[in-house]
Amino acid sequence: MARIDLVDLAHSYGGNDAAPESFALKPISMTWRQGGAYALLGPSGCGKTTLLNLISGIVTPSRGKILFDGVDITPLSTQKRNIAQVFQFPVIYDTMTVGQNLAFPLKNRGMVRSDILARVAEIADLLDLTPYLERKATRLTADAKQKISLGRGLVRSDVAAVLFDEPLTVIDPELKWQLRSKLKALHRELDLTMIYVTHDQTEALTFADTVVVMHDGRVVQSGTPAELFDKPAHTFVGYFIGSPGMNIVPAEVRGREARIDGHIIRLDRNYDGLPPGAKIEIGVRPEFVDVAPPGSGLLLANIERIDDLGRVRFARVRVGDAKFAARVPPGFSIPGNEAGLLFDPAHVHVYADSLLVEGA
Ligand code: ATP
């Protein structure tokens, strides 16, 4: 397994002369540590697959370099990069048994038979494939075939990295839930550098130690799931991660106060010195805004609807032109069309031109 450095890496499918804004991947530089579990997360078209394909060598970058353990591998073909890949759809040999499929990448490397058998047994056990080892792959379900693909991706312990491109797409929802946490456990067990592309936040947050959030060809934040939840560096991250996403509303901010539609919210830091002319917004997750009986000092909101999610209810409310999702505390009965909003100041963030501002 390797440390991976991306150095000023960028790609345009329209050639190097294309306008910088049209690049599928705008220049990025970052380091991914050896043995880390990374998820590339973002909506369709944000550049996740492009970045993964640059790392695998399927796509040659318009600019920049990729280093594995300090060695520039940019000119190398996919075969020479010593990586394993798992794609959306199963890539297996139907005519071989499950065991032969799992053994294939090891045989190709010239490993001795006893070592191959031991490793195949270990991987089959981890993926609950042991009872099927002697079966022909062709007779298995799509789910089982994709598990074999995962096994083939994970079987070699000497790869620089294992790359996953939306590997659970074809998996049945019930099994998907199991496999999500299984992949996390496999990462701990096998100690490989893993990079996992998905547009599904639950998959990313379950799997990764570090989630790399992409938007419009850029990495907008890279952090632990808790960091992305607690301190989104960009309004896009706040909105994209979480369900419902973060409330992001325009506000006037001065010192320790934010003003929305004439009402004042207290902040726990001082925001004097915001860049003049910037678009100022506050961001607060619905989990940190509670509806309350209308009362003095509370922001007054019109309730538009209540979403009952079983264990938690969220009210969709409006304050002037601003819309919020707010938690309805357990046992609280909505008094009418209006409610007060209670904010937890420690979780109200301020953004200038979409970027988080650290208050003083
Ligand atoms: P998805 O989840 O839909 O695969 P993604 O985040 O992986 O999306 P990419 O597939 O990397 O995004 O695409 C990034 C941008 O590059 C998109 O605008 C896409 O249309 C464009 N693109 C991707 N592949 C090609 C290609 N082979 N030729 C031209 N443009 C491409």
Does the pLDDT of residue 156 top 80, yes or no? yes
13 C-alpha to center of ligand 1: Å?
Answer: 9
Q: Specify the pLDDT at position 335.
A: 67
The atom of ligand 1 lying closest to the CA of 214 is 6
Q: What is the DSSP letter of 21?
A: G
List pLDDT tens digits, range 7-17.
Answer: 999 999 998 88
190's enclosing H/E stretch is: helix 173-190
Mean pLDDT of 268-296: 93
Long-range contacts of 293-300 (CB under 8 A, 24+ apart): 293/335, 293/339, 293/340, 294/335, 294/338, 294/339, 294/340, 295/340, 298/340, 298/341, 298/342, 299/260, 299/263, 299/265, 299/340, 299/341, 299/343, 300/263, 300/338, 300/339, 300/340, 300/341
Does the pLDDT of residue 68 top 90, yes or no? yes
Q: What is the DSSP letter of 128?
A: T
Q: Specify the pLDDT at position 331.
A: 85
Q: Specify the pLDDT at position 197.
A: 97
> Domain residues of the chain, as ranges?
4-234, 243-357
Unique residue bearing structure tokens 């264990």:
311
pLDDT-derived band at 109, boundaries 50, 70, 90: confident
CA 83 to chain CA centroid, nearest Å:
21
Mean pLDDT of 109-133: 93
48 C-alpha to center of ligand 1: Å?
Answer: 8
Q: What is the DSSP letter of 274?
A: P
Residue 188, both tokens: 């701990």
List pLDDT tens digits, range 285-308.
Answer: 999 999 998 886 788 899 999 999
The atom of ligand 1 lying closest to the CA of 47 is 11
Mean pLDDT of 224-228: 96
Does the pLDDT of residue 37 top 80, yes or no? yes
Domain 243-357 fold: OB fold (Dihydrolipoamide Acetyltransferase, E2P) (2.40.50)
Q: Specify the pLDDT at position 301.
A: 92
Q: Specify the pLDDT at position 296.
A: 67
Residue 93, both tokens: 């040999």
Q: Specify the pLDDT at position 315.
A: 94
Residue nearest to atom 17 of ligand 1 (CA): 45
Residue nearest to atom 14 of ligand 1 (CA): 47
Q: Specify the pLDDT at position 280.
A: 97
Q: CB within 6 Å of ligand 1 — which residues?
A: 13, 24, 42, 44-50, 199
Q: Specify the pLDDT at position 180.
A: 87
List pLDDT tens digits, range 159-216.
Answer: 999 999 999 988 888 888 888 888 988 898 888 999 999 999 999 999 999 999 999 9
Higher pLDDT, 157 or 51: 51
136 C-alpha to center of ligand 1: Å?
Answer: 35
ipTM: 0.97
Buried b (16+ CB within 10 A) or exposed e, 327-355: bbeeeeeeeeeebbbbbeeebbbbbbebe
Mean pLDDT of 336-359: 94
Does the pLDDT of residue 334 top 80, yes or no? no
CATH architecture of residue range(s) 4-234: 3-Layer(aba) Sandwich (3.40)
Say which range, 58-72, 182-196, 223-237, 276-290, has the weakest mean pLDDT: 182-196
